[in-house]
Structure 1
Amino acid sequence: MIASTFISLLAFPLVTAFYLPGTAPRDYQEGEKIDVFVNTLTPMLNSKLHSLISHDYYDERFHFCQPEGGPIKQPESLGSILFGDRILTSPYEINMMENSTCKLLCQSSVPKEDSKFINDRIKEDYGLNFIIDGLPSSEMKRDLKTNEIFLDAQGFNLGDDETIPDKPALNNHYDIFIQYHLKEGYHSLKQFRVVGVLVYPRTVNSMISGSNSPDCFNTQPLYLSEATNNEFYYTYSVSFIPSDIPWGLRWDAYLHVFDPKIHWFSLINSLVIVGFLIFMVAMVLYRTISKDISRYNAIDLSEDVQEDYGWKLVHGEVFRLPPRPMLLSVMVGNGTHLIMMCIVTLIFALFGFLSPSNRGSLATVLLICWTLFGCISGYVSSRTYSTLGGNQWKSNLILTTILFPIIIFSLIGLLNLILIFNNSSGSIPFGTILAILLLWFLISAPLSILGYFYGMKIGSFKNHSSQQQQINSIPRQIPLIKPFYLKIFNSILIGGILPFGAAFVELYFVLSSLFGNRAYYAFGFLFLTFLIYILTISTVTILFIYFTLCSEEYRWHWRSFLIGGGSAFWLFIYGIWYWISRLSFDSFTSVILYFGYLFLFSLLDFLIGGSIGYIATYFAIRRLYSSIRVD
């Protein structure tokens, strides 16, 4: 009870952690121009998500208005590009404190061939994304569960398909509301700061026959005909609204946690699960095992004879080398690499260094950590392979460095080709691919090699107790009949469901963020959930391997890795349920992309969970068998 209370108190400041803005505040004077940038068009997650393909704003099929001289690409971070951002200049002219009504942007012509494309994107709930002074365009909404007002930064709808079924209307007028804060100071000129951006789109058939000016107050919607060419106006209005929100707190309205009670319920539920598992492990270690050890070590060999039973029967087999030790060591090394990458990234996010104002900062830090922690994979793989008695260190070094990076890069490359064939702006440019490959070849791979040789210098994880060297020359026969829960497939399913159950609620919000174009910022909950996930996998795997050894099954190496990675199976099953319940893809391409990404996430989860299970089990078994006296 005291421990859970302490963790809850610790979690509160973590969940409400501050953030460090990524840019300095910009002060505007009255009449000064405010730049408006446009980003990619992305499908919005409302009741359901209909697509995973994003489109460039200036895709020629949309026929949006362009600035004079053409749009200019803005510099972006590597992580921002990986997340699909393509930020460009726009023709919108907005000056500080200058309101405007029904301002003409341009006259657009959409041929009938492109009308169907636009109407289909409206039906799929695509949204436009503006960026003004670093803030995303948003709509003010109310959380029905908490009754809080927040800014939804998903963007705003390309059109409206609810007025008349199967007849979508194009939103061609935008009411832009900019919230400003008057900077306090002793300057003779007033200085203003942007603290909020709201955009409300409308569909208006503003083109009037015989008039060269638009009528933005017309109530007739604009429908694009798929039989004839279309001519219409794009217009916008700008209003400045005073706000008491200071610049340093302007992101608070965007950082809204949906239904925080669910997060707390999930966290408390996970704490109960891991507390029960730790109690079970403590009971096994301090009552069952300690009694066995005391009884075995208290025997006077000259007078008493006691037959071994249970886990002590396999003391001469438990350190027998497993099959395919090279592959196992490579997987443990790469899994540990991913674990360190996740922990360090979450720590950075926890203390607010991954500010939402730094677009793509999360992906950038993940990539940097993956690059710099290549030494971890080499070090752990080397020492694990040496512990397992391997001697083909050159092959092990090469596989540790290239095997799983090639598998992951190949999968991402196939998905990227699908995006390219579908003209998606979310496809990774060739320059970015080249940069990532250079990071791998020039930094990550050399660090992995250095870590490998350093691990070889230190040697295996074995201690110097004599028991570990006493392996029977003839393998002991393994009983054919086992309890149903110790059969390998059943063990994987049962052992994987508990870690998954400790994290599945937070997983829902992560998936909604990844596929629904929403920023994720509940890193306090995520960090604590990840720690609980590690503890749950460790305790579950140790318990299952203990029961396995008691049934005289000594082949625990691969079993511990598979049980630890069992949550990946449930992650994939949950992804299928999420697809059925929250997604409604209108194209087979989006289905392929979704299951490709889901398989990639499951593979990474399998490596992480398997490495945790194997490492925890190895040190538990080494501690167990070094505590008994072998007859």
Structure 2
Amino acid sequence: MILSAFLPLLALPLASAFYLPGTAPRDYLQGEKIDVFVNTLTPMLNSKLHSLISHDYYDPRFHFCQPPGGPVKQSESLGSILFGDRILTSPYEISMMQNSTCQMLCQSSVPKEDAKFINDRIKEDYGLNFIIDGLPSSEMKRDSKTGEIFLDAQGFNLGDDETIPDLPALNNHYDIYIQYHARDSRHFRVVGVLVYPRTVNSMVSGSREPDCFASQPFHLSEATNNEFYYSYSVSFIPSDIPWGLRWDAYLHVFDPKIHWFSLVNSLVIVGFLVFMVAMVLYRTISKDISRYNAIDLSEDVQEDYGWKLVHGEVFRLPSRPMLLSVMVGNGSHLVMMCIVTLVFALFGFLSPSNRGSLATVLLICWTLFGCVSGYASSRTYATLGGDLWKQNLVLTTILFPTVIFSIIGLLNLFLVFASASGAVPFGTILAILLLWFLISAPLSVAGYFWGMKHGAFENPVRVSSIPRQIPPKPWYLKTVQAAILGGILPFGAAFVELYFVLSSLFGNRAYYAFGFLFLTFIVVVLTTATVTVLFVYFVLCAEEYRWHWRSFMIGGGSAFWLFAYGVWYWASRLSLDSFTSMVLYFGYLFLFSLLDFLVGGSIGYIATYFAIRRLYSSIRVD
């Protein structure tokens, strides 16, 4: 509410002087050259996804036409490189407002050994990706559910494997349509790029020019060497779309009703949970507090029961307090990183024309918010009674970043061995390590000392000298069972958006519904906090005072369902044919589940600690 009230005020003074990075318009004169860049070949998510390995456009096994002097690599952001973009120049010659028909690109020769490699990539639905004036190549499609026309920026097919079974056809001719908006009679702007590939056996005996209108498809033979032409046509189409709205056709949200249904469903869940917690606090705890604080002079002894019975144990030092504080600190770090990144996305700062901006902002936020992990870990460890602060500081700074970097590094080795273009270069790895050691780690140390300066939180009750015996408890309050049960509702609040996020991460689909994602994240945070507080209250009522690890496990319980959902997504939407793709998918899925466990666990622990602190500060202990 407060944020929406300030949005119009923020927009007024900046409207005439502000544009997002990477979105400066370019005016073309008639006949001026338009650069065509090529990106990596990526598997397309149609009926099913068959691979997770991307290939460099100029991989010598494809034998694509190269520009004179060889391709030139374009500068890219750190996030763009991490997301697998490898942008290079191309031999396509396009001039503004100059149509061309059946323009020969080059004559290519593919040996039989490489023909099998190309045919296999066609069967796996690989797509080519062109970039013209910052816009990705696309195909115009209609949403079957809404009827809306949109531009699908997945790219366009390398070939066609549906005409003749087991004999795929190579798309060797590209019809390129460029939509332009005329500012005046001399200046034009590109507002749309469409590419429709065709397969055509264009070689004519006795002629050095291709016949782009031949009716026969072209099939690569795996028994003999292949000679054929690559060709293209260019057509310019006038458009009324202004340059500032040219991305609207790309930013298509599939089935927006299901996003709204998911959001409303999540709001109902969190509303129900907040109502339950409020009723527990108001009707049960308030009565208990009133009874415990009542002074009855006619009775000498007032017997305790339930959660008050363990008031002398509830703040007892848990097992492995150092590891718990490190996990809370790193989880808090990730929570802050997610919130700030989603706020940037919500305000539109992560422009799709600025490729890799999402990954770049995530990396910057992770680097700059290292102080959060140090501060949270320091205060948590001090509150738990720990005194080995030097070891805690070192583990907070290096433990989980090392684990995460090790997993990513191992997966990167599989990409290297598979000759995938998505393998992160050594220079990029070195840059990330420098960000960690030179910025993130010192900030984490500074945050830790800042937390030490503030010291531990003061517990409202003393810890008894002799531990109480813990009675048997119901099966659903045991740690693992409670974590699995407690994770259902936070996962249920986000599983619809999770489908679109997985399709974006693994299926090369762009995700733009950041408004839905931001609200869903807020709902998940509230759901995780309330579910954890509720479960821990039941645990305390059962006279089980070892709540510290339970609260973290219950808060992170959605990670179990995230991994299970990822397995279902693999079985229903993917058909990975190679061992490397399987390792990559389940490796990244495990990494996402680990990060979700840290995020949810830290939220659950922090919410539970302050709820318990507030609860036991409201009673009087004799």
- Specify the TM-score bucket, using the shorter chain as the normaliser: over 0.9
SS of alignment partner, residue 28 of structure 2: coil
CA apart distance, 1:288: 0.5
* Range with greater deviation from structure 2 (364-373 or 470-479): 470-479
How many angstroms apart in 2 are the aligned matches of 1:370 and 1:321? Answer: 31
SS of alignment partner, residue 107 of structure 2: strand
CA apart distance, 1:586: 1.0
CA apart distance, 1:588: 1.2
SS of alignment partner, residue 103 of structure 1: strand
Question: 1:363 and 2:359 equivalent?
Answer: yes
* Superposed counterparts of 1:3-22, under 5 Å: 20=20, 22=22
Letter in 2 for 1:69: G
Write out per-residue CA displacement over residues 431-459 of structure 1, whole angstroms, 9 at most, x where no aligned residue. Answer: 00000000000000000000001100110
SS of alignment partner, residue 219 of structure 1: coil
CA apart distance, 1:30: 0.3
SS of alignment partner, residue 215 of structure 1: coil
How many angstroms apart in 1 are the aligned matches of 2:514 and 2:141? Answer: 23
Q: Could you tell me which residue of structure 1 aligns to residue 211 of structure 2?
A: 215
* Superposed counterparts of 1:478-493, under 5 Å: 478-480=470-472, 482-493=473-484
How many angstroms apart in 1 are the aligned matches of 2:536 and 2:25? Answer: 56
How many angstroms apart in 1 are the aligned matches of 2:559 and 2:251? Answer: 30
Write out per-residue CA displacement over residues 1-21 of structure 1, whole angstroms, 9 at most, x where no aligned residue. Answer: xxxxx89x99x99xxxx9946
Q: Could you tell me which residue of structure 2 aligns to residue 41 of structure 1?
A: 41
Letter in 2 for 1:240: F
Letter in 2 for 1:291: K
How many angstroms apart in 2 are the aligned matches of 1:417 and 1:516? Answer: 21
Letter in 1 for 2:468: R
CA apart distance, 1:305: 2.5
SS of alignment partner, residue 486 of structure 2: helix
Q: Could you tell me which residue of structure 2 aligns to residue 102 of structure 1?
A: 102
SS of alignment partner, residue 401 of structure 1: helix
Q: Could you tell me which residue of structure 2 aligns to residue 475 of structure 1?
A: 467
Letter in 2 for 1:444: S
* Superposed counterparts of 1:239-250, under 5 Å: 239-250=235-246
CA apart distance, 1:490: 1.4
* Range with greater deviation from structure 2 (486-495 or 281-290): 486-495
CA apart distance, 1:472: 1.4
Q: Could you tell me which residue of structure 1 aligns to residue 603 of structure 2?
A: 612
How many angstroms apart in 2 are the aligned matches of 1:195 and 1:53? Answer: 31
* Superposed counterparts of 1:506-545, under 5 Å: 506-545=497-536
CA shift in 2, pair 1:620/1:301, >3 Å: farther
SS of alignment partner, residue 226 of structure 1: coil
* Superposed counterparts of 1:70-81, under 5 Å: 70-81=70-81
CA shift in 2, pair 1:216/1:473, >3 Å: same
Q: Could you tell me which residue of structure 1 aligns to residue 560 of structure 2?
A: 569
CA apart distance, 1:304: 4.6
Letter in 1 for 2:401: P
* Superposed counterparts of 1:201-600, under 5 Å: 201-300=197-296, 303-462=299-458, 465=460, 467=461, 470-480=462-472, 482-600=473-591
CA apart distance, 1:301: 5.6
Letter in 2 for 1:604: L
What is the aligned-residue RMSD (CA, Å)?
Answer: 1.6
* Range with greater deviation from structure 2 (357-366 or 290-299): 290-299
Letter in 2 for 1:124: E
How many angstroms apart in 2 are the aligned matches of 1:383 and 1:308? Answer: 31
Question: 1:115 and 2:115 equivalent?
Answer: yes
How many angstroms apart in 1 are the aligned matches of 2:195 and 2:22? Answer: 24
How many angstroms apart in 2 are the aligned matches of 1:151 and 1:484? Answer: 53
How many angstroms apart in 1 are the aligned matches of 2:182 and 2:370? Answer: 48
Write out per-residue CA displacement over residues 451-485 of structure 1, whole angstroms, 9 at most, x where no aligned residue. Answer: 0011001101225x4x2xx21111100012x2232
How many angstroms apart in 1 are the aligned matches of 2:455 and 2:296? Answer: 37
How many angstroms apart in 2 are the aligned matches of 1:428 and 1:626? Answer: 52
Q: Could you tell me which residue of structure 2 aligns to residue 3 of structure 1?
A: none
* Superposed counterparts of 1:163-174, under 5 Å: 163-174=163-174
SS of alignment partner, residue 272 of structure 1: helix
SS of alignment partner, residue 456 of structure 2: coil
How many angstroms apart in 2 are the aligned matches of 1:122 and 1:296? Answer: 74
How many angstroms apart in 2 are the aligned matches of 1:554 and 1:106? Answer: 75
Q: Could you tell me which residue of structure 1 aligns to residue 158 of structure 2?
A: 158
SS of alignment partner, residue 240 of structure 1: strand
Q: Could you tell me which residue of structure 2 aligns to residue 82 of structure 1?
A: 82
Identity in percent = 84
Write out per-residue CA displacement over residues 594-616 of structure 1, whole angstroms, 9 at most, x where no aligned residue. Answer: 00000000000000000000000
Letter in 2 for 1:175: D
How many angstroms apart in 2 are the aligned matches of 1:255 and 1:462? Answer: 50
Letter in 1 for 2:177: F
Give the TM-score, by structure 2 length: 0.97
Write out per-residue CA displacement over residues 268-289 of structure 1, whole angstroms, 9 at most, x where no aligned residue. Answer: 0000000000000000111100
How many angstroms apart in 2 are the aligned matches of 1:606 and 1:488? Answer: 15
How many angstroms apart in 2 are the aligned matches of 1:273 and 1:619? Answer: 22
How many angstroms apart in 1 are the aligned matches of 2:544 and 2:141? Answer: 58
Structure 1 segments unaligned to the other structure (5+ residues): 1-5
Question: 1:624 and 2:615 equivalent?
Answer: yes
SS of alignment partner, residue 118 of structure 1: helix
